């Protein structure tokens, strides 16, 4: 079974830190069981998330996420086969945009003032998530 990597973004209305923590907790549990790995970027205006794993597991996980009422306007940015995982160490890596180091990387990708990953190319979105991964190793 080929490995797939899927990247999407969504918008949020009113989520508190405890809501985001609850999402992370359930994500890490579900992903561990499904051998799905990835990275979640949260901004008060939305999410950008990368999921990777066996194709069927990524599809099932994404289907649950799309139906989740805690966010909306889910937009698929990229989906492709991968030889190796980009986020093998994380059942769900997490970064929050208000950290200064994260804000600087977002500015590099044109997301500084307005968090609008909907406008990004697939390549740019995946590159951004990899930069976040590398940042996550140092903060």
Is residue 68 part of the contact set for ligand FAD (CB under 6 A)?
Answer: yes
Quote the least distance from Cβ 77 to ligand FAD, whole Å: 14
| Nearest-CB residue for ligand FAD | 30
Among the listed ranges 43-51, 81-89, 102-110, 117-125, the one in contact with ligand FAD (CB under 6 A) is 43-51
Q: Which two tokens stand for residue 113?
A: 């003032």
Q: Which two tokens stand for residue 128?
A: 């951004």
Nearest to 55 by CA among 77, 34, 30: 34
Contact 92, 38 (CB under 8 A): yes
Is residue 11 part of the contact set for ligand FAD (CB under 6 A)?
Answer: no
Nearest to 6 by CA among 70, 54, 69: 54
Is residue 30 part of the contact set for ligand FAD (CB under 6 A)?
Answer: yes
Contact 115, 45 (CB under 8 A): yes
Is residue 5 part of the contact set for ligand FAD (CB under 6 A)?
Answer: no
Is residue 31 part of the contact set for ligand FAD (CB under 6 A)?
Answer: yes
Is residue 63 part of the contact set for ligand FAD (CB under 6 A)?
Answer: no
Quote the least distance from Cβ 112 to ligand FAD, whole Å: 21
Q: Which two tokens stand for residue 75?
A: 């937009």
Contact 116, 47 (CB under 8 A): no
Quote the least distance from Cβ 125 to ligand FAD, whole Å: 15
Nearest to 93 by CA among 134, 60, 43: 134
Q: List residues binding ligand FAD (CB under 6 A).
A: 10, 22-23, 26-27, 30-31, 47, 49, 51, 61, 64-65, 67-71, 92
């Amino acid at each position: 079974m080929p490995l797939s990597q899927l990247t999407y973004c969504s918008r949020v209305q009113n989520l508190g830190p405890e809501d985001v923590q609850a999402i992370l907790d359930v994500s890490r549990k579900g992903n561990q069981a499904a051998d799905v790995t990835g990275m979640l970027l949260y901004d008060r205006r939305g999410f950008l998330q990368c999921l990777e794993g066996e194709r069927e597991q990524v599809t099932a996980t994404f289907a649950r996420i799309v139906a989740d009422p805690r966010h909306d306007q889910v937009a698929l940015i990229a989906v492709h086969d991968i030889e190796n995982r980009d986020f093998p160490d994380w059942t769900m890596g997490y970064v929050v945009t208000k950290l200064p180091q994260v804000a600087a990387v977002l500015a590099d990708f044109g997301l500084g003032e307005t968090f609008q990953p909907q406008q990004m190319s697939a390549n740019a979105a995946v590159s951004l998530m990899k930069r976040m991964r590398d940042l996550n190793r140092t903060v």
